[in-house]
Amino acid sequence: MWIELTAADGHRLDAWADGPKDARRALVVVQEIFGVNNHMRHVCAGLAAKGYAVVCPALFDRTERKVELGYAPEDVQRGRELRAKVPEAGTLLDIEAAAAALPAGAKRGIVGYCWGGTVAWHGATRSRAFAAACGWYGGGIAAARHEVATCPVQLHFGEKDHSIPMSDVEAIRAAQPGVEIFVYPGAQHGFGCDERSSYSAPDAKLAEERTLAFLNRTLA
């Protein structure tokens, strides 16, 4: 269901909430550059079915509200334009507001996809709100690879991701020897989204299994 959050700077934003209200483990789920669309709500439902309470904040609300895009080339361009208008400091406040909306007493993690993968990394390095962070194909992580995480982190990348070269992944690996990094041979950007042409069911399944095992371990 949709809820409203208030960030520390007074900004109000929408968020999608799912899962048991008395969950012992909880997640902030961070959107791609397409808004909190049908796919992101589907991701939330899947995590809720595993027993997690989840909140997915609408990060685009800082520049435009009610954004739900598809995956056509024009949607990609539109998503990039919107993302460029949202300040990193604002996204950090928004994910912290989402964390505060999770059940009291639950151990909190963050998982993000695409743009959200980068935001999840920032959640690990720039916030102390999370006990674990997991990022799927976050293109901005390499630029922030020297930041220090305050919680365990797991990262997933596609070998054939045209927007994240393997040189970036290796730079992250070299800078962060304590971070668990998985590369999926032949996989492209967005391999975990079943609404994209780059979707790879076997890789998505394996990455999900690894993500859940990581979260089950770190949020125990």
- pTM for this predicted structure: 0.96
Q: DSSP assignment of 84-104, as one string? A: HHS-HHHHHHHHHHHHHTSPT
Q: Across the strands, what pairs with 49?
A: none
Task: Look up the CATH number of domain 2-218.
Answer: 3.40.50.1820
User: Could you give the residue ranges of the DSSP H alpha helices within 112-200?
Assistant: 115-126, 166-175
Selection from 26, 22, 4, 23 nearest residue 14 by Cα: 4
pLDDT at residue 128 in the model: 96
Proportion of the chain above pLDDT 70, given as a percent:
100
**18, 189, 193, 203: which one is catalytic?**
189
**39, 44, 61, 114: which one is catalytic?**
114
**61, 94, 161, 203: which one is catalytic?**
161
What are the two backbone dihedrals, phi and then psi, of residue 67, each rounded to the nearest 5 degrees?
A: -85, 120
Tell me: the pLDDT tens digits for 149-197? 999 999 999 999 999 999 999 999 999 999 999 999 999 999 999 999 9
Tell me: the pLDDT tens digits for 116-150? 999 999 999 999 999 999 999 999 999 999 999 99
What are the two backbone dihedrals, phi and then psi, of residue 100, each rounded to the nearest 5 degrees?
A: -65, -20
- Is 75 known to be catalytic? no
Tell me: the pLDDT tens digits for 84-127? 999 999 999 999 999 999 999 999 999 999 999 999 999 999 99
User: Where do the domains of the chain lie?
Assistant: 2-218
